[in-house]
Structure 1
């Protein structure tokens, strides 16, 4: 649907689902939220969309979100690519969406949004060089913010992010980042099992060589999104704009460590002790760069990273740290393209005093995330297996019917998960958006969310600082 608009406003069918966060635990309980859950009461504004995640929030529609979304952006390919993705959702044969976009393009896009404020929630997913500044400006203007990760890519951004949370609290709005991986069923099962003492025991302290919890992921520069080859903007390969791998995907991994190892507990910066950190580059040929960006040459701003005709990008990194005395390790690797039939992969292990709960997603698993339970004690195996069976068939299956425990060998089991729970990465955006809408209606986030977001970005930015030394 297209709506004609004057004064530089352009109309295109669009919506952006957004939500946000900012702690309100200090607010009086009787204070009412400005949101009631009513139809169309959430009015979205999308600021400078440059990452495909901005569109994925809109892959579905939400009763609480008005179909008209206000988009403010500089002119260029980023905003047009975003609009094309939304139009694709609107015109698909299966369950099409019906978003309407009102688009303003101009160099003063931020100022224009702040002056007009046609919406009450700002969604931001794009160039990370300015993202934290956008967040701070919106929070100061009393606008709720639903932000794609990362919200900070260096220590200067982190300081600004802390100020943004203070502004959000002062102005009674919610600032929240989009943590889709909390909705991955294998991660949920890993977390739930680790919270059953009869099965998991207690999380080990671990060591630097064998951490108590490890999260590793492999991502790919060229891939398919919503059934189409993903076109990435050229600035995606500039770490001054996108951020290094150390502070990008690792945001999810650190979030899951906090969410699983210390569920619903308030964490502080003082709980973090960095142990080691390293980073290295992914090499791209000009042909590969052209394939994913559709640009003929490396732009001038990337020439600083071109060596012998190939682009060197700091997309990879790993770090080990202690969180409340527990050793944790995070690793992220970017390859150009996955093998045929494969995709992004994830590996995770939580080490308990009774068992390890593991997620693997390799060739043996047909590149599908799979949960394993490996008993670590030599004695009491019959009792352990009984407790594990009960945990899966009763406690977990009460929330997720159909789960099945399968013994593979002595002291090793897997959990079969019905396909209905394997909704995939793109569908997680709708799930986290629905969650954020609930928070808006409640008028607050859980009391641990804001301090833990601060702790998370402190961890990633400190890791980068250490890796650069």
Structure 2
């Protein structure tokens, strides 16, 4: 179906998958990094590089005034790019608030070189197969493009070395390299961070121990689930850790990011001095042939997955991982677990606890919470509950100044934070929020000073932990 040197345009409401050659140039799209003090209407021209993950489409789920509706896609021919275009088509065709994207797609074998040569935009979005992700980032940055990349930006220590070089080049060229950290926009996480900044309620963050960390985060994900109302179809390479990355360097990226973001907000972290990894481990999730077929639509395992096939034709994937480490002397533990499918009525879940000298801040998302994240404030043992309640209610105005309508109600072990429904906008909406924040930075021409060193600290933690987990066999 796909032809070399092929280009296709997706205008508004129609998707054509029959690609034809096009030599037209758009000189208006030839600039690279924006240095304007603010991004004006249509000044951001997106390029999507090799989309293979649904996150690539989610950044386009809504229109933004700064973004030109024409998006140039460069990718190898195949099912990944087709699936991406189908999602964009669905956004364009939805009955409520349809988008108006016009996708111009190039699928020649020299797609990466073509992207660099044509310079059709100023922001490159990457979300897909991670085997070449760091190489893509480095190439795009060296060519002068701003880059918004899905996690992970590095899946091993070799990639981390390349990533450091990419950040150095970005600094030299005054362009912005940034990753998509959607979990910073989850309201219970945001409020956990806010309450931890109230010494009269939280006290001070404990230091903890390796056996009893001061902060623990656990994320449970599922291979089969629904995205934008439809069953997800995952590419076979998603189950190959050399292409997707192990769980300990993939989803764990979010957890490590949140530990840094919540424990030491807006503080620079130096991975050479501030991080000590105590232990790391990884383990497999197994899928049956029928489960693999349901989530990929494939009737057999491709050759590159054969190494992971175990007895009874079960496929073992190193999707799970745990890191026990210290950040500026604070003990933290993060873990990611992948199951095949969630229980009825459930989805991906998150657990988090921050331990303060006066109270613990706990996010739970289990059956008792109807699988919706809830934040609890649990006073330390021996606390005078009446005095604590007075401090809590006196301090609540500081939270309400930024989050009007947030309240607390007492329950058996403390207080539950009641959050108005308007703040629960869902995981998919967070991609648009990340994009909006990133475009603000592009318009300003800079990231906050702590973001780059903390991204490096994050990927040092995950890739070093992977190295340790594999060495621990």
Q: 2 CA distance for matches of 1:460 and 1:8? A: 38
Cα 1:13–1:457 change in 2 (3 A) is farther
Matched, 1:315 2:319: yes
Alpha-carbon distance, 1:375 to partner: 0.3
Matched, 1:132 2:134: yes
Equivalent residue for 2:346, pick from 342, 345, 370? 342
The alignment partner of 1:42 has SS state of: coil
Aligned length, in residue pairs: 447
Q: 2 CA distance for matches of 1:261 and 1:420? A: 26
The alignment partner of 2:298 has SS state of: coil
Alpha-carbon distance, 1:377 to partner: 4.3
Q: Which residue of the partner structure matches residue 11 of structure 1?
A: 9
Q: 2 CA distance for matches of 1:228 and 1:433? A: 23
Task: Output the aligned Cα RMSD.
Answer: 1.4
Q: 1 CA distance for matches of 2:12 and 2:223? A: 26
Q: 1 CA distance for matches of 2:295 and 2:167? A: 35
Q: 1 CA distance for matches of 2:5 and 2:179? A: 33
Equivalent residue for 2:334, pick from 327, 330, 333? 330
Alpha-carbon distance, 1:6 to partner: 11
Runs of 4+ residues deviating >6 angstroms: none
Q: 2 CA distance for matches of 1:379 and 1:196? A: 17
The alignment partner of 1:397 has SS state of: helix
Within 5 Å, give how 1:210-249 maps onto structure 2.
Answer: 210-249=212-251
Unaligned runs of 5+ in 1: 16-31
The alignment partner of 1:62 has SS state of: coil
Q: 2 CA distance for matches of 1:242 and 1:397? A: 41
Within 5 Å, give how 1:21-420 maps onto structure 2.
Answer: 33-34=35-36, 36-269=38-271, 270-308=273-311, 309-392=313-396, 394-409=397-412, 412-420=414-422
Q: Which residue of the partner structure matches residue 29 of structure 1?
A: none
Alpha-carbon distance, 1:295 to partner: 1.0
State the TM-score, normalized to the length of structure 2.
0.93
Q: 2 CA distance for matches of 1:190 and 1:373? A: 9
- Alpha-carbon contact 1:14-1:68 (below 8 Å) kept: no
Q: 2 CA distance for matches of 1:368 and 1:61? A: 28
CA deviation vs aligned residue, 1:117-163 (integer Å, no higher than 9, x gap): 11001000000000000000011111000000000000000000000
State the TM-score, normalized to the length of structure 1.
0.94
- Alpha-carbon contact 2:220-2:349 (below 8 Å) kept: yes
Alpha-carbon distance, 1:381 to partner: 2.9
The alignment partner of 2:69 has SS state of: strand
Unaligned runs of 5+ in 2: 14-33
Q: 2 CA distance for matches of 1:127 and 1:203? A: 38
CA deviation vs aligned residue, 1:203-224 (integer Å, no higher than 9, x gap): 0000111100011010000000
